[in-house]
């Protein structure tokens, strides 16, 4: 459900063909009101459905935060684990397509501090497929970040119907011996390109992709840092580089 997800197929084409395949009972166009969309989705989840919400720009999730935080994320705590709220919010995040200041933000630094929600940040199409399938099956609110700058990328994905990637499990994208770089989402592609470039200078960089920010695969990151001298994080944020000494 979301704005233009039905007949139009989504502003970025992410739901093309779904209306024709599943019909208006399952693919629902909504008014331009993120607050109403989020509230409706959370209500539907409480009654037993598993809504998938398309948020055209991550910037607009701020309008939906009251419903997400106060009516959704807290349910598990307020009812002793007895009330599940399985909603997946697919949010088009970040810059790179000329959408200006109010349509280009990446707000995971806010969202990762809200108890009761999970935040997923895939960096390629195959990971996105496996993680999205797991997010939909999760019993919590999941913010699923989709970097707009990666929408035009064509990559091979698994066609196995049983292909899932568990939330909370990262992956070593490149083995290395000198430095650990932790990156995700859109920045991951750039990091891998940079790692290939510095390899010609004899610098061996290990790249860790957490894939999900909440829950975070701390063990994978810590084990990588332990064996190397230092580490850094590269993120699509205002302050993009954080250096950590061992």
pLDDT tens per residue, the chain (246 residues)? 999 999 888 888 888 999 999 999 999 999 999 999 999 999 999 999 999 999 998 889 999 999 999 999 999 999 998 999 999 999 998 777 777 777 778 899 999 999 999 999 999 999 999 999 999 999 999 999 999 888 888 899 999 999 999 999 999 999 999 889 999 999 999 999 999 999 999 999 999 999 999 999 999 998 998 887 665 655 554 344 444 444
Contact at 8 Å (CB) between 212 and 168? Answer: yes
Separation between Cα atoms, residue 121 and residue 235, nearest integer Å: 11
Residues 6+ apart with CB under 8 A from 131: 120, 122, 144, 165, 167, 211, 212
pLDDT at res. 232: 63
Closest residue by Cα to residue 105 from 96, 114, 116: 96
Q: Residue 207: CA atoms inside 13 Å, Cβ hemisphere, count?
A: 23
Domains of the chain and CATH, by start:
18-150 (3.40.50.970), 171-245 (3.40.50.920)
Give the model's pLDDT for residue 239: 41
Count CA within 13 A, CB hemisphere, residue 14.
26
pTM listed for this prediction: 0.89
By annotation, the residues acting in catalysis are 34, 103
């Amino acid at each position: 459900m979301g704005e233009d997800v039905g007949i139009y197929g989504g502003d970025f084409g992410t739901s093309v063909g779904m209306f024709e395949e599943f019909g208006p009972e399952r693919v629902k166009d909504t008014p331009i009101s993120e607050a109403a969309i989020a509230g409706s989705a959370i209500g539907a989840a409480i009654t037993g459905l598993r809504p998938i919400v398309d948020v055209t720009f991550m910037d607009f999730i701020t309008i939906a935060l009251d419903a997400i935080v106060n009516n959704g994320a807290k349910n598990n705590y307020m009812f002793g684990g007895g009330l599940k709220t399985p909603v997946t919010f697919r949010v088009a995040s970040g810059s790179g397509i000329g959408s200006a200041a109010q349509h280009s933000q990446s707000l995971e630094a806010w969202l990762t501090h809200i108890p009761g929600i999970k935040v997923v940040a895939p960096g390629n199409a195959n990971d996105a497929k496996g993680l999205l399938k797991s997010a939909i099956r999760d019993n919590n609110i999941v913010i699923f970040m989709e970097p707009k700058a990666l929408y035009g990328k064509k990559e091979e994905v698994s066609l196995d119907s049983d292909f899932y990637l568990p939330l909370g499990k990262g992956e070593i994208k490149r083995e290395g011996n000198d430095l650990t770089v932790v990156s995700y989402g859109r920045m991951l592609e750039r990091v891998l390109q940079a790692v290939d470039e510095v390899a010609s200078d004899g610098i061996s960089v290990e790249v860790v992709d957490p894939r999900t920010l909440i829950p975070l695969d701390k063990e994978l990151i810590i084990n990588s840092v332990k064996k190397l001298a230092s580490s850094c994080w590269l993120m699509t944020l205002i302050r993009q580089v954080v250096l950590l000494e061992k």
